[in-house]
Chain A
Amino acid sequence: METRVLIVDDSATIRKVVKRIISQAGFAIDAFIEAHDGRDALVQIRQHTPSLVVTDINMPGMNGIELIEALKKDPALCGIPCVVISTEGTQEIIDQVLHLGIVGFIQKPFRPEELAPVLAPYIQMAVSAGAAHTTDF
């Protein structure tokens, strides 16, 4: 089972930077998938079943909160861990997404070294799950 990370942000810059930070942290990621808004992300998630979703909140069309709500309502997708990276940092927003069950919140601007430790446990779980799957027969 591949370890796939979906990065959701309307900014191509942020998608590239997050991908670079994760890659440089040495995680064994088989594939990065990108989406430019929540609706695009849902299509990608249903097609690729990522191990982890990293999403912005403030996006045109379907925003990050709406994306997470859609995932949590779907029994097939509700177990995918979601981390939010966003400029939205008011306590109301943080409480709202935590209540939805996200596993991490990083506010922009962030230092690159802040990102990897937040994502590490979920990527490592996905890598371990993939390794266990390949040894099962």
Chain B
Amino acid sequence: MQIITRQLFDAVVKAATEVFENMFFVAIDPVADETPFPQQVVHAHIRYAGPHSATLHLYLPIDLARQLAADFLGEGAPDEQLVLDSCAEMANMIAGRHLKSLSLDARIYRLTIPQVAVELAPATGQETRTFSTGSHLLRLAQDVDP
């Protein structure tokens, strides 16, 4: 991973940590990427464009997605559509927080609308990190445009 890309990803991780702590009251701790990860996940992704452009990916096991959505909403068992919507909003907030940290020189980044689906978890790559909430794993990834 090039240094600049790694620095950008470190900033994404920082943003994600803040979002999970402040909005979802969950602490996330890095674990080895080789840690076995659930096959089926909720995949939320969002693209931003500006002086550099990238897509941020958030992968959550379905149980964790349901738990986070229920806690965030204050509801016992939100329906699947609401769980997916909550995950999309997580990606949205992570990206927004990340962009705010990038925009100190007043250049403009713009966010797209987040997308979300239930999918098979992809293989880890260079710009991937795995985290533990204590009871579940989640994964962040980034694709920076060349």
Contact = CB atoms under 8 A, between A and B. Distances in A.
- Chain B interface mostly helix, strand, loop or mixed? helix
A111 B24 CA distance: 9
A107 B72 CA distance: 17
- Please indicate which of the listed interface residues B19, B22, B96 has the most CB atoms of chain A within 10 Å of its own CB: B96
B92 A90 contact: no
Interface residues of B, number: 28
A13 B100 contact: no
Given A17-B73, A20-B73, A60-B113, A87 B95 contact: yes
A58 interface: yes
Contact of B86 (A13, A86, A90, A109): A13
A87 B93 contact: yes
A60 B113 CA distance: 7
Contact of A11 (B75, B92, B95): B92
Given A12-B85, A17-B73, A20-B73, A89 B99 contact: yes
A108 interface: yes
B97 A11 contact: no
B1 interface: no
A89 to B, nearest CB: 4
Nearest to A21: B74
